[in-house]
């Protein structure tokens, strides 16, 4: 059982939004609105992915220069870890951790430049949307346990992808992000 706070943390990286989703129950189950265009979120999805994850898996830490993520846990629990890597952000270098649960769902919007990692203590499924099609060039990453991230994980030996296991350190990810954001004109 993950014991990190389930309520909204006191401060989130600028541009990150946690949105509680309301369940409407009827005799046969429930309906939960996950996304509506008229919510005017900072993410206009072009692609939706569905992920099933085994216990003790960690995905990340990743950061994107171009695309935003929008995610929601359907079943199980996700420990969502965030770290702001945007030098001009008012919350630059802020780190936070928050549990998202399939019970009492909420969605999370993660803007470009905010590094994120997901840890799953138990089997979990979740949906996420992106506002640009997947592109390997926009997938920057660093070691999940790099101390520069300021994140405390409830595991020492998570299951990782080969790419995440071989990821470079924080400094290399930060340099890559600044270069990509400069190239995109986001820091000029």
> Which residues bind to another protein, rule: CB under 8 A?
26-38, 46-54, 57, 59, 72, 74-75, 105, 125, 127, 133-134, 159-161
Q: Are 60 and 118 in contact (CB under 8 A)?
A: yes
- Nearest to another protein of 10, 136 (CB atom): 136
> What's the closest the beta carbon of residue 35 comes to another protein, in angstroms?
4
Question: Which is closer to another protein, CB of 7 or CB of 30?
Answer: 30
Beta carbon nearer to another protein, 69 or 84 = 69
Cis-peptide, bond into residue 66, ω within 30° of zero: no
Residue 43 DSSP code: -
What tokens does 80 get? Answer: 């969502």
Quote the least distance from Cβ 161 to another protein, whole Å: 6
Distance CA 175, CA 163 (A): 18
Q: How far is the CB of 80 from another protein (least distance, A)?
A: 17
Integer Rg of the chain from CA: 16
Closest to another protein by CB, 35 vs 92, is 35
Question: For residues 74 and 174, which CB has a smaller minimum distance to another protein in the complex?
Answer: 74
Least CB distance to another protein at residue 69 (A): 13
- We find the least distance from the C-beta atom of residue 175 to another protein, in angstroms, to be 27
* Cα distance between residue 89 and residue 186, in whole Å: 12
Q: How far is CA 103 from CA 6, 8, 16, 108, in A?
A: 11, 15, 21, 15
């Amino acid at each position: 059982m993950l014991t990190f706070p389930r309520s909204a943390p006191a401060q989130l990286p600028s541009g990150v939004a946690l949105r509680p989703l309301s369940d409407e129950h009827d005799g046969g189950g429930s309906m939960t609105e996950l996304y509506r265009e008229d919510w005017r979120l900072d993410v206009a999805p072009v692609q939706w992915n569905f992920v099933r994850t085994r216990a003790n898996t960690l995905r990340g830490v990743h950061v994107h220069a171009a695309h935003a993520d929008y995610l929601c846990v359907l079943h199980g629990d996700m420990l969502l870890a965030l770290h702001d890597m945007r030098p001009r952000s008012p919350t630059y270098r802020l780190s936070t951790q928050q549990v998202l649960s399939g019970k009492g769902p909420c969605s999370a919007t993660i803007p470009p430049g905010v590094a994120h990692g997901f840890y799953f203590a138990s089997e979990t499924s979740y949906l996420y949307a992106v506002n640009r099609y997947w592109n390997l060039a926009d997938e920057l990453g660093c070691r999940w346990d790099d101390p520069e991230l300021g994140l405390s994980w409830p595991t020492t030996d998570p299951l990782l992808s080969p790419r995440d296991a071989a990821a470079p350190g924080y400094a290399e990810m930060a340099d890559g992000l600044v270069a990509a954001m400069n190239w995109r004109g986001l820091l000029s």
